[in-house]
A and B are shown apart, each in its own frame.
Chain A
Amino acid sequence: MAQASYPAELLYHPEHDWARIEDDGSGLATLGITWYAQDSLGEVVFFEAPALGTMLTKDEPYTEVESVKAVSDVVAPLSGEVVEVNQALAENPATINEDPYGEGWLVKVRLSDPSEREALLDAASYMATLAG
């Protein structure tokens, strides 16, 4: 998508990741990178998903996305276990650019400490960090 966008229903990590926490009490969350992250990186040409069962630690890198020019670490916004990965990205990694909050999601995790969400930013607060 060409225009910057930061959906209000998501939570954000200052290292340019988003999390969509299921509100059904399942303790599951979907993770991805923000519009700003994909725009800064350029067209994503390579993404190798982490293995199922990988344990993510909040604030630590858990995978990489690569453009033609650069490799960028992806930081976990929340801690948890990878229970699903976006297989479609292996064939079409540029989906991360085209639809970063939808088809371009990276992984789904089972949160190990749901209270960590308190440390994440809402869309307005995240956008404020970009303005600096």
Chain B
Amino acid sequence: MSSTATPTLRRTPLFDRHVAAGAKLVDFAGWEMPVYYGGPPALIQEHMAVREACGIFDVSHMGEIETSGPGSPALLQRLLSNDVAKIAPGGAQYSVLCREDGGVLDDLFTYRLDVDRYLTITNAANHVQDLAWFNAHAIDVPDVEVHDRIDEWAMLAVQGPLAREIVQAISDSPLPARMRAEPRRVAGAEVLVCGTGYTGEDGVELLCAPEHAAALWDEIVRRGATPAGLGARDTLRLEVCFHLYGNDLSVERGPIEAGLGWCCKEDTSFIGSDAVRAVRERGPAERLVAFAIDGPGIARQGNPVAGGGEVTSGTLSPCLQTGIGLAYVPAERAATGTQLQIDVRGKMRPAVVKDKPLYRKDA
């Protein structure tokens, strides 16, 4: 139960803000990060604040890789599963990074900052490995530079039905639309404002220089955003069935199995495209499904599914008030409505395969 922080953990520019707000801090991929703020009901309160109003998350632990030069589209097209040529300047795109065998190395958002300049956001735990992968393949592509930008950017996610209104009030011009990423002056600082998020709510993600992060955080909190930790970030994303790398994605499985075929464009010949095409054509042996527990109990990562498969993410849904999760199951048992039995620490819990997302705003 203890989460004693060691001095070797990295800290974001907002660390002092987290401590002052009474954050419960945990080691997350080598970073000392807030899981929630204050006492026990906090996680659920933060979750509901994002669903009903506005929450602000420090996600500065996430990494950034900048790819620039005339060769950058060619390199990214080789590395990323999606069709990079479809990203207009100021656009954003989701993709996965695959090995030759189709195993997923990371899932990533890429923003096109300029004609020949892209910024790719990495998961904290994968950043060093992703950067090495980018550099190793950049050798084969002329006129491209790869730069590690993890120390140059802090990142705040402002999410919820009131998020845009709050950030708009301190921005010098209208905020970019969903899936757009453009520079703005926000509370006096140069900020890359991205119409993206990981909660299923409208909102923006803000990338800024680390020295501006605290003032930006303070101003957005002052205007009504609730500081929210990684705990709520996880329950929010799971209710809307967004993948978490290390849980629902790994090198052991490919994007088709994970339900990410929509962001794989094999005709672009990305690394792993042959393997992905083969799985798509013959059909995957297993699929990632969303489930809800039918009755009491909460399934957790690693719980086996009777008849094959395993839970990769599981929690109690604060909005649905039931156990929910994602699990890989044999493809023939992946249809909506299929009854599953999940072995939750020795107790068999009935569950039902559900449509994604599990939580819908207007439901």
Q: Which residues of A contact B (CB under 8 A)?
A: 2, 16, 36-46, 48, 64, 66-69, 71-72, 90, 94, 97
Question: When the two chains form their complex, are residues A66 and B1 in contact, meaning their CB atoms are under 8 A apart?
Answer: no
| Any A CB within 8 A of the CB of B298 | yes
User: Which of B39-47, B74-82, B263-271 contacts its partner?
Assistant: B39-47
| Chain A hits for B316, CB < 8 A | 45-46, 66, 68
Interface string of B31-57 (1 = CB under 8 A from A): 000011001111110000000000000
Count A/B pairs, Cβ under 8 Å. Answer: 61
Tell me, rounded to whole Å, the shortest Cβ–Cβ distance linking A69 to chain B. 5
Q: Which residues of B contact A (CB under 8 A)?
A: 1-3, 24, 35-36, 39-44, 231, 234-235, 296-298, 300, 315-316, 318, 323, 345
Question: When the two chains form their complex, are residues A43 and B40 in contact, meaning their CB atoms are under 8 A apart?
Answer: yes
* Alpha-carbon separation in the docked complex, A94 to B316 (Å): 13
| Chain B hits for A90, CB < 8 A | 296
| Chain B hits for A39, CB < 8 A | 39-40
> A46-B296, A66-B298, A97-B39 are known contacts; what are 18 more A-B pairs with Cβ within 8 Å?
A37-B1, A39-B39, A42-B24, A42-B40, A43-B40, A43-B43, A44-B40, A45-B44, A45-B316, A46-B298, A48-B297, A67-B40, A68-B315, A69-B43, A69-B231, A71-B298, A71-B345, A94-B41
Contact sample, A vs B, 21 pairs, CB 8 Å cutoff: A37-B1, A38-B40, A40-B2, A40-B3, A41-B1, A41-B40, A42-B24, A42-B42, A43-B41, A43-B43, A44-B40, A46-B323, A67-B40, A67-B43, A68-B316, A68-B318, A69-B231, A69-B234, A71-B300, A94-B41, A97-B40
| Chain B hits for A71, CB < 8 A | 298, 300, 345
Question: When the two chains form their complex, are residues B35 and A69 in contact, meaning their CB atoms are under 8 A apart?
Answer: yes
Q: Among A42, A44, A72, which residue has its beta carbon within 8 angstroms of that of B36? A: A42
| Chain B hits for A97, CB < 8 A | 39-41
| Chain B hits for A68, CB < 8 A | 43-44, 231, 235, 315-316, 318
Tell me, rounded to whole Å, the shortest Cβ–Cβ distance linking B97 to chain A. 28
